[in-house]
Amino acid sequence: MKKTKRVSVSPCLRGLWAVSIAAMLWCGLAPRVDAQTNGIETDPIRCWWKTDRGAIRIGERFTIALTCGVIDTPEVKVAPTMTQLDPGALQVPPFEVVGGKRGPDLVNGARRYFQYEYSVRLIGEGFFGQDVNVPPLMVTYNIQSTVGQGSQGRDQTYVLPAMPMRIVSLVPREANDIRDGSPETFSAIDARRFRATSAFTAAAVVFAFAGVLVIVAGVRVFGRVRQREPRATTLAPSALLAGATRALRQVKAQVVREGWTTPLARRASAALRIAAALALDRRVAQELANGAPSERDGQIAMSSGLIRRRRLLVSASTTPSFIGRQLGNGHRGAADRQMLERLQVSLDTFTTVAYGRNGELERTTLDAALDAGTAAVRRLRIRRILPRTGWRKEQWASS
């Protein structure tokens, strides 16, 4: 059996051997760690320029678009410093940034793209016919990780290369003035002036015509308002009969409470005279009550209109003797004669009591006359409401 011979190794060789093994392991494991971060080790940010034209003139405004794409995943985010890209803070000498705006962000896969549009111009006299570079742009950014407790890397810088712009000469080399002359000629100026004058004249004529129409319309409306006479407001026969019936019911209610009095007898006779005039196709006086005047003897207050209600004082001059003469001519039917006879008797009773020298207020007689008169007025109202063949059109006038 052979004996194994041990070889002694010095401590220095042992340390060098350990360092070599660690370096080999690190070189082999580092790509795996980077692979787990979705390739964050390569191009965490990409930017590029773009212009709307390849050649410009001195003082001419053109647009430069700066587009950048950054890594943006739930685990890793690249955060550029946006304030240095703001149109008010960006400096690209010898060009001057006049204005700009930021467009909406777009997301495509693991990258988020943002874009700035800058309005730029070049002012100077020594750049004619030359290529002038938009200077390189340095974008500061850092990498933020949300894995574990989260971390933020150090600030790094991405350099966007310069972009050349061709400057076109405006004038020949011998010219001593680089300002553009006006392209307008005298004939073009005269034509524009003629069109402007014609348009102004036409507008003035149209406005004058419209003003005349407004004045004429205003004069006519104002004249109608001043010259228009107030239209007489009258009540229809059915409304007058309804008012007479209402007045008789009010008289009966007061008689029940207070008994018969001379004013109540006169009010009943006034209502019966109105009903008799309507039955005989006679005129009924209707007076518009301006303000709120009180009823005079022989008048009954009635109202018209639903929204703008007006108060009318209605009266009639029918007498029992006139009703008797109309009954004697023989031109009334049986129904009309019966109704008129009731109105005549009731009206004669109240007229005698209200205006006679020796009028006595007999409750029984007056109650019977009031009931008979009320029934006759109600019957007349029903006949006026219901249609009847051959009913001739009635004319009502107001005084």
Give the global pTM: 0.41
Q: Give pLDDT, residue 9.
A: 41
Answer yes or no: are the C-beta atoms of 350 and 272 closer than 8 Å.
Answer: yes
Percentage of the chain exceeding pLDDT 70 = 76
Using the predicted structure, report yes or no on whether residue 196 has a pLDDT greater than 90. yes
Using the predicted structure, report yes or no on whether residue 389 has a pLDDT greater than 50. no
Percentage of the chain exceeding pLDDT 90 = 29
Using the predicted structure, report yes or no on whether residue 369 has a pLDDT greater than 60. yes
Q: Give pLDDT, residue 22.
A: 39
Amino acid letter for position 272: L
Q: Once rounded to an integer, what is the mean pLDDT over residues 180-187?
A: 68
Amino acid letter for position 277: A
The string of pLDDT tens digits covering residues 12-65 is 444 443 434 334 333 333 333 343 344 444 689 999 999 998 889 888 899 999
The string of pLDDT tens digits covering residues 95-120 is 999 999 999 999 988 999 999 999 99
Answer yes or no: are the C-beta atoms of 245 and 379 closer than 8 Å.
Answer: no
CA separation for the pair 284, 274 (Å, rounded) = 7
Answer yes or no: are the C-beta atoms of 289 and 301 closer than 8 Å.
Answer: yes
Q: Once rounded to an integer, what is the mean pLDDT over residues 123-149?
A: 89
CATH number of 45-168: 2.60.40
Using the predicted structure, report yes or no on whether residue 314 has a pLDDT greater than 50. yes
Range name among 31-35, 168-172, 345-349 with the lowest pLDDT average: 31-35
User: Mean pLDDT of all residues in the chain?
Assistant: 79
Q: Give pLDDT, residue 324.
A: 84
Using the predicted structure, report yes or no on whether residue 130 has a pLDDT greater than 50. yes
Using the predicted structure, report yes or no on whether residue 89 has a pLDDT greater than 90. yes
> In DSSP terms, which residues pair with 140 in a beta bridge?
157
State the pLDDT confidence band at 259, using cuts at 50, 70 and 90. Answer: confident
Q: Give pLDDT, residue 357.
A: 67
φ, ψ of residue 159 in degrees (nearest 5): -105, 120
Most confident of 156-170, 198-212, 340-354: 198-212
Structure tokens that stand for 209 in this block? 């015509």
For every residue of the chain, which 3-state class applies, written as one string?
CCCCCCCCCCHHHHHHHHHHHHHHHHHHHHHHHHHCCCCCCCCCEEEEEEECCCEEECCCCEEEEEEEEEEECCCEEEEECHHHHCCCCCCECCEEEEEEEECCCEEECCEEEEEEEEEEEECCCCCCCCEEEECCEEEEEEEEECCCCCEECCCEEEEECCEEEEEECCCCCCCCCCCCCCCCCHHHHHHHHHHHHHHHHHHHHHHHHHHHHHHHHHHHHHHHHHHCCCCCCCCCHHHHHHHHHHHHHHHHHHHHHHCCCHHHHHHHHHHHHHHHHHHCCCCCEEEECCCCCCCCCCCEEEEECCCCCEEEEEECCCCHHHHHHHHHCCCCCHHHHHHHHHHHHHHHHHHHHHHCCCCCCCHHHHHHHHHHHHHHHHHHHHHHHCCCCCCCCCCCCCC
pLDDT: is 180 or 73 the higher one?
A: 73
- Where do the structural domains in the chain lie, given as residue ranges? 45-168, 237-385
Using the predicted structure, report yes or no on whether residue 198 has a pLDDT greater than 60. yes
State the pLDDT confidence band at 179, using cuts at 50, 70 and 90. Answer: low
CA dihedral 380, 381, 383, 389 (to 10 degrees): 120
Q: Give pLDDT, residue 170.
A: 59
Could you check whether the bond before residue 161 is cis, i.e. omega within 30 degrees of 0? no
CA separation for the pair 301, 5 (Å, rounded) = 147
pLDDT: is 248 or 392 the higher one?
A: 248
Q: Give pLDDT, residue 13.
A: 40
- Find the helix packing angle between 237-258 and 363-385, rounded to 10°: 160
Using the predicted structure, report yes or no on whether residue 123 has a pLDDT greater than 60. yes
Q: Once rounded to an integer, what is the mean pLDDT over residues 295-309?
A: 77
Q: Give pLDDT, residue 213.
A: 93
Q: Give pLDDT, residue 7.
A: 39
φ, ψ of residue 375 in degrees (nearest 5): -65, -40
Answer yes or no: are the C-beta atoms of 262 and 354 closer than 8 Å.
Answer: yes
Range name among 76-80, 164-168, 294-298 with the lowest pLDDT average: 294-298
